[in-house]
């Protein structure tokens, strides 16, 4: 069969970016539904979250879990970025697209940037969700939020669980291969982009765990 347009030469477009995006939305929807007893469907994933209520609620849940982790494991928490600032939001009678909805989403974005320190390449803007302009970055941001929460012991989406297992195996292999090399191994970066980011941006999953940084 002819190669699909837009995929890098020599790479098999299976699953394609659209299919992978759908798989991530399905995983995130199931994750949200499990955490908060919701009924978010893949076909209306963005519509279910566009008021920002569920996002801000989750942010505050991450805060509570992180602070609890900090109390129980102070030494480990000292090496981590622990979010603390409560996200203030309006939860009742929020109309999609309204000023209040935009304010909720904006507050969640501010929390992602300031408390979690999520890099711009993984961030979305208010209009990306409210006007459904950039579904890809919204999904990538939620996956990164889920990845951070999992470090404090929160339930993670299945893709994140699989990714962490694969990266642990990769670190073990790299550690074995580094034996005898001069100089210490480079420390793990404070934020790594996972398999989801690589798949959506056409970066190989083998080798280095990071895509080329545009900066």
Nearest to 147 by CA among 81, 50, 72: 81
Q: Give the range of the structural domain holding residue 73, as residue numbers without chain letter.
A: 17-156
**Total structural domains within the chain:** 1
Task: Let me know if residue 78 belongs to a domain.
Answer: yes
Q: Which long-range contacts (CB under 8 A, 24 or more apart) does 106-114 make?
A: 106/52, 107/52, 107/56, 108/52, 108/55, 108/56, 108/59, 111/56, 111/59, 111/83, 111/85, 111/87, 112/59, 112/141, 112/144, 112/145, 114/85
Asked if residue 15 has a cis previous peptide bond (ω within 30° of 0), the answer is yes
Q: Residue 189 has what pLDDT?
A: 45
Q: Spell out the alpha helix ranges (H) of 37-86.
A: 45-49, 53-72, 74-78
Task: Let me know if residue 4 belongs to a domain.
Answer: no
Per-residue pLDDT of the chain (215 residues; tens, 9 = 90+): 444 444 444 444 445 888 999 999 999 999 999 999 999 999 999 999 999 999 999 999 999 999 999 999 999 999 999 999 999 999 999 999 999 999 999 999 999 999 999 999 999 999 999 999 999 999 999 999 999 999 999 999 999 999 889 988 999 999 888 765 555 544 444 444 555 655 565 544 433 333 334 44
* Region label for 207, one of left (φ > 0), alpha (ψ between -120 and 50) or beta (otherwise): left
Task: Let me know if residue 214 belongs to a domain.
Answer: no
Query: What residues have CB less than 8 Å from 101, skipping those under 6 apart?
Result: 50, 51, 52, 94, 95, 130
Task: Let me know if residue 99 belongs to a domain.
Answer: yes
Task: Let me know if residue 187 belongs to a domain.
Answer: no
Task: Let me know if residue 103 belongs to a domain.
Answer: yes
Q: Residue 198 has what pLDDT?
A: 59
Task: Let me know if residue 175 belongs to a domain.
Answer: no
Domain CATH number, residue 37: 1.10.418.10
Task: Let me know if residue 181 belongs to a domain.
Answer: no
Over its C-alpha atoms, the chain yields an Rg (Å, rounded) of 18
Per-residue b/e over 2-19, b at no fewer than 16 CB within 10 Å?
Answer: eeeeeeeeeeeeeeebee
């Amino acid at each position: 069969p002819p190669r699909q347009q837009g995929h890098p030469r020599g790479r098999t477009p299976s699953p394609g970016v659209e299919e992978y995006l759908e798989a991530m939305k399905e995983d995130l929807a199931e994750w949200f539904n499990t955490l908060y007893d919701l009924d978010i469907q893949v076909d209306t994933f963005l519509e279910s979250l566009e008021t920002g209520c569920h996002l801000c609620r989750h942010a505050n849940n991450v805060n509570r879990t992180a602070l609890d982790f900090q109390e129980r494991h102070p030494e480990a928490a000292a090496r981590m970025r622990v979010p603390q600032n409560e996200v203030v939001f309006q939860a009742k009678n929020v109309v999609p697209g309204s000023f209040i909805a935009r304010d909720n989403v904006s507050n969640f974005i501010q929390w992602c940037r300031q408390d979690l320190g999520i890099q711009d390449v993984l961030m979305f803007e208010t209009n990306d969700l409210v006007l459904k302009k950039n579904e890809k970055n919204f999904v990538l941001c939620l996956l990164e939020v889920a990845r951070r929460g999992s470090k404090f012991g929160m339930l993670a989406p299945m893709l994140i669980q699989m990714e962490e297992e694969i990266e642990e195996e990769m670190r073990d292999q790299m550690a074995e291969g580094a034996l005898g090399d001069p100089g210490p191994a480079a420390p793990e970066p404070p934020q790594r982009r996972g398999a989801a980011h690589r798949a959506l941006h056409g970066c190989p999953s083998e080798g280095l765990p990071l895509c080329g940084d545009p900066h």
